[in-house]
A and B are shown apart, each in its own frame.
Chain A
Amino acid sequence: MKKQIHDFQIIANRRVNEEYFVLSLSGNRQLPEIKPGQFVQVRVDNAPNTFLRRPFSVYDVDYKKNILYLLIQIVGEGTRILSELKKGEILNLIYPLGNSFSLPDGEKALLIGGGVGVAPLMLLGRWLKEQKKEPVFLFGFRNYGLLVDIDLFTGFGKVHIATDDGSTGEKGLVTQHSFLRKVTGDISMVYTCGPDVMMKAVALWAEKKDIPCEASLENTMACGFGACLCCAQETVHGILHVCTDGPVFNTKELIWQI
């Protein structure tokens, strides 16, 4: 898919919780096909201390309404400025970037997300359902207040939740969730996105169960399209780049740095 650079208009800026918000973006032209796992590079205007673009996974796409959705967590000045954007304001995007998740062999797939890492799992869940697969979600959040659009995810499959403080779902890490203990041979693929420690633990669990696992990684990147070579990821094939070789990797190829 040809990479593009365009201005989008903000259709809505919806606050999801204390830390997260969803931008609904619409451009003048029809959106190209955006695959689950792909990302965009957003230019943050009027932000004196924000020099580079910010990469975000595509949260969801509505081709009929021609709207692209981004789920963003406020972590620094750039994302704070984005969180304050109003309907009608303009955002410049480079997209679609990176590779995408692959289709599972069997029917049932487990999508494990932590925090804002649930972002690419929405579009993935939608796609899997469209492909007549059966996605099941397992999400970890710090607490009840940081839950993200559970009702929307539920539209694609069952959602299991773990929270650090037990304020909803099971208390503890996603990898300690009782659902994982009940998993038998019916899950044909695990997809994960979230903090590295979580993804590494998920990858180890999947490996033990002999289930293929794909992880969507994050890394500091300047360009997002393979020119700067900053987002280096160590793999069994040597150093690869998260922006063009990823962001989705088969976890068996990864050499975790943690």
Chain B
Amino acid sequence: MADISVHIGDLHLKNPVAAASGCFGYGTEYEDFIDLGKLGAIFVKGITGSKREGNPSPRMVETSSGMLNSVGLQNKGIDYFISDIYPEIQHYNTHIIVNVSGSTIEEYVMVAEKLNDLEKIPAIELNISCPNVKEGGMMFGTHCPSAIEVTTAVRKVYHKTLIVKLSPNVTSISEFARAVEGAGADAVSLINTLLGMAIDAETQEPVLATVTGGLSGPAIKPVALRMVWEVYNSVKIPVIGIGGIMNATDAIEFMLAGATAVQIGTANFIDPRVTVKVINGIEDYLVKKDITDVNDLVGALKIPGQL
């Protein structure tokens, strides 16, 4: 039996497969389908300082091999999370990692400070890359000085594992990875959704109420793989790969590109049991390839002609 556990900073994951934020609710939505305790971690839905209603409908449109969404960080705020959701999910036999978002640095800091006190939350994922909110969100993730500023500010108050989720909507994602590494991030996760849009030629109107939205699903996988590979070659901290993973082979490709762990997002909507299938598939692959430690896959990409 191969060892499939990995480390993200001080955090020990029983396997490299996690559920991605925004696609997995608070985990409870999937309890009928899988044993959540099998997962390496659950990145729960993005949480902000106060309640957000999210964007108007339509918020979603299917696209070729993917979907565009403009949910807009709908959530009931950090205080509601602490009082009503945390007590319901803290018994999970997996790491609960909270995705943190905000419109101002103060908001990020306030949420991170409150989460620091929750015993069963060992890490946060700083969402500086949500494309669907008017203020903040992606602004912090596409302007390097802002990315440094928010990471530095949160690092000061947050003493557990700090993961920063990067936006692909930049010219050089490695630059941002290096910047947040320098600002104290313990790991980076990438990619968040790619900014896109859909148009209805019949009505000549945009399909989404917000006009633009975030593209996810297998359509973005090649872009995500390239970015993970670039970032892996640019930073020393662990990289968590995200973007269109539908099965174990996709997950293995991300690990070969340099991801220590992966997050599965959109695929959960189509197959709510996909995370567990990916874990099993990785184990099968390791046996087949006679690999005893899953960490040996990380960055093991073989480029012909290069040693």
Contact = CB atoms under 8 A, between A and B. Distances in A.
Interface of A: 2-5, 43, 49-53, 94, 219-234, 238-239, 257
A121 B271 CA distance: 29
Contacts, number: 93
A233 B272 contact: no
Contacts of A50: 62
Interface in B145-199: none
Contact of B57 (A49, A51, A225, A234): A234
A52 B270 contact: yes
Instruction: Indicate the size class of the contact surface on chain B.
Output: 35 or more
B56 A232 contact: yes
Contact of A239 (B25, B53, B268, B270): B53
Interface of B: 22-25, 29-30, 32-33, 45, 53-67, 69, 71, 74, 217-218, 266, 268-273
A139 B33 CA distance: 38
A219 B57 contact: yes
Contacts of A222: 60, 67, 69, 266, 269
A3 B80 CA distance: 26
A229 B30 contact: no
Closest 9 A-B residue pairs measured CB to CB?
Answer: A230-B60, A223-B269, A3-B32, A222-B269, A227-B25, A227-B29, A232-B57, A230-B59, A226-B29
Given A51-B62, A51-B217, A227-B269, A238 B53 contact: yes
Contact of B270 (A3, A43, A232): A43
A52 B56 CA distance: 21
Contact of A220 (B33, B60, B273): B60
A118 B71 CA distance: 30
Contacts of A51: 62-67, 217-218, 270
A226 B25 contact: yes
9 contacts: A222-B266, A223-B268, A225-B29, A227-B269, A228-B269, A229-B74, A232-B55, A232-B59, A234-B56
